[in-house]
A and B are shown apart, each in its own frame.
Chain A
Amino acid sequence: MPMTDMSLVTRSLRAHRLSTIVTALMVAIGVALLMVLLTVRDSASRAFLRGTGNMHLLVSAQESRLESVLNSVFHSGIPQRVVTWDKFQAVASLPPVDWALATVQGDNYRGYATMGVQSPFFEKFLPDGASPMTLASGTFFRAGEAGVFDVVLGSSAAAGTGLKVGDTLTITHGTDEKGHVHDEFKFTVSGVLSPTGTAHDRVVFVTAESKWIVHADEFRAQAARAAGKSEHEEPTTANLTPAEKPVTAIYVKMRATPTIAQVATIVRNELGLTAAYPASEIRRLLGIVGNADVVLIGIAIIVMLSGALSVMLALYNSMEHRRRQLAVLRVLGASQERLLSLVLSESAAIGLIGAVIGLVVAAIAGQVTAAFLSGALGVPISGAVDPVWAIIVVSGAVLLSALAGLVPAIRAYRTPVISSLRPIG
């Protein structure tokens, strides 16, 4: 094989193997750190924004708009205040409203939040903003009384609980899986949803009616005991009173977007409820969290700069040992510019090796971090490395390393030929 500039560079890298490995690893750490942070940050942002779906407003009785979004869309907690059935109907009947979906939160199954919804929920609400929920198996809630205690599992909830179509379950009061079990009501899994890539994948969907019945039964029993009676009328969808049909949040979509603000004003001023723009609230949250991101990404960039600095020092120090070799290359016909280019190529090559190692580490660490955060935040976060960021960060690392090679390259450029070739000893 004829000798080329690239073979001279690879030979030099091999000749200084330990230094090459150490400096490449320094670059790799910076690249991996930056890639993981960028990947997780972007993925988390997408997951949060995607989860708000196609709703325009989230109406609730909570005071904080952000908290209402986190609770009712991302299931971070249970709303403490409820919207009455009358007010729900008032919202649903506003002329600009295309649809209003009542949701009833509270209770869990083995730690997975349950959410009571009515059948149109699966048809109207598009969790990713583009397509409705689809079934991986089974059916949505069956119509009529037969389907009141049906359960539709989000994909992660199904995977996490091991439940499948036809299985029965009982739900637990509150968010703690060790809470009171509503064991007098058996639910049956009617369907399992395909993944949506949103927080809804972790939800156990039940009918709103079943939620109301379970809790109305408790209230009626308490009332009967207080009245000295041993029995109470069993609640059914037909005999539930409006007071027994509380709603924790309402997903609302308008017929036309210009009317969103108008409806929000009515909801706030006339109904005394909270109207939140979910996407805006999430952007506000991400803006707050983003300040921490900037610090972390800044640290990662400093680590990358340290890697580049180590490339510079390693190459600069090696120039003293390589003076004779550089001078021989000059005698053989290499120009000063060629030596400069060889050293720059060598530093860029170290950057490239480091960046590739960093990407591999980021691919693994990204998955681990994403899995941890998915569990902690309750939203599906992907750890897959974004190819666009990968190209930007790798190019940046190579460019930075090449720039770091500039100082040793100038030293190589200035290598005096005659004094470097004086007989040894």
Chain B
Amino acid sequence: MQLPTLEIGAGEQVLLTGGSGTGKSTLLHLIAGLIDPAEGRVEIAGQSVHALAGAKRDLFRGQHVGMIFQTFHLLEGFTARENVLAALMFSSIPPREHDQRAADLLARLGVQRIDAAAGELSVGQQQRVAVARAVACGPALVLADEPTASLDPENAARAMDVIQSACRDQNAALLCTSHDPSMVARFPRSLALESIATFAGESNPQEAR
């Protein structure tokens, strides 16, 4: 995949569309620093992500990039509150503020049983916990990878409302991938991956270490 310059402004919300297997997820992993580019660079909040190595890059990701997954990936055996606290562990926010911040964030996003095991919550509530975790550290950018792919249209709309409003509240830019054409209307800017990138041959990107 060759991608010319793509810039997303602070607090801007961008939809990235494309069919299955076109590389939307790979692009998000690249931006998050989980994959190294063959060439070029990714800058977030003025920092070249791939110029950082190892633990520094991981910490930078934890503090500046939030990620939302299609299947939420909440931590098993942890409560809703603890899922958010786990994200805050790696932030620069003073630990004494973590508990209150997690509780406030979950309350604002409408999570009712914050001390219930995440696995016991409804799908909708789990989605909200995942969003709260992604924005907990006040990230510059939230990457949402097909966040509504497994939801029916009604729940998908609700989930997107939550994600988009949470990002607006935190002034975090949002880059959301989807293959659902109906999502285009929700975003002021949408890009089809096939139109902004060129593809040559087969690739097998190596995970960053």
Residues of chain A at the chain B interface (Cβ within 8 Å) = 1-4, 8, 11, 14-15, 324-325, 327-338, 416-419, 421, 423-424
The answer to whether A2 touches B99, judged by C-beta atoms less than 8 angstroms apart, is: yes
The answer to whether B86 touches A331, judged by C-beta atoms less than 8 angstroms apart, is: no
Residues of A within 8 A of B95 (CB): 2
Contact size class for B?
Answer: 35 or more
The answer to whether A418 touches B89, judged by C-beta atoms less than 8 angstroms apart, is: no
B32 at the interface (CB under 8 A from A): yes
The answer to whether A333 touches B90, judged by C-beta atoms less than 8 angstroms apart, is: yes
The answer to whether B69 touches A335, judged by C-beta atoms less than 8 angstroms apart, is: no
The answer to whether B86 touches A338, judged by C-beta atoms less than 8 angstroms apart, is: no
B158 at the interface (CB under 8 A from A): no
Can you show 27 pairs from A to B with CB atoms below 8 A apart? Answer: A2-B85, A2-B88, A2-B98, A3-B82, A11-B77, A11-B82, A15-B77, A325-B76, A329-B86, A331-B67, A332-B87, A332-B89, A333-B59, A333-B62, A333-B87, A333-B91, A333-B137, A334-B58, A335-B58, A336-B54, A336-B55, A337-B55, A338-B55, A418-B29, A423-B70, A423-B71, A423-B149
Residues of B within 8 A of A333 (CB): 58-59, 61-63, 87, 89-91, 137
Nearest chain-B residue to A4 (Cβ)? B89
The answer to whether B76 touches A15, judged by C-beta atoms less than 8 angstroms apart, is: yes
| Least CB distance, A344 to chain B, in whole angstroms | 16
How many Å lie between the Cα of A325 and that of B59 in the bound state? 17
Residues of A within 8 A of B137 (CB): 333
The answer to whether B89 touches A3, judged by C-beta atoms less than 8 angstroms apart, is: yes
| Least CB distance, A46 to chain B, in whole angstroms | 50
The answer to whether A3 touches B86, judged by C-beta atoms less than 8 angstroms apart, is: yes
Nearest chain-B residue to A329 (Cβ)? B86
How many Å lie between the Cα of A258 and that of B86 in the bound state? 73
How many Å lie between the Cα of A197 and that of B16 in the bound state? 84
The answer to whether A3 touches B88, judged by C-beta atoms less than 8 angstroms apart, is: yes
The answer to whether A336 touches B209, judged by C-beta atoms less than 8 angstroms apart, is: yes
B86 is contacted by which of A324, A332, A336, A423 (Cβ under 8 Å)?
Answer: A332
How many Å lie between the Cα of A1 and that of B98 in the bound state? 8
Residues of A within 8 A of B149 (CB): 423
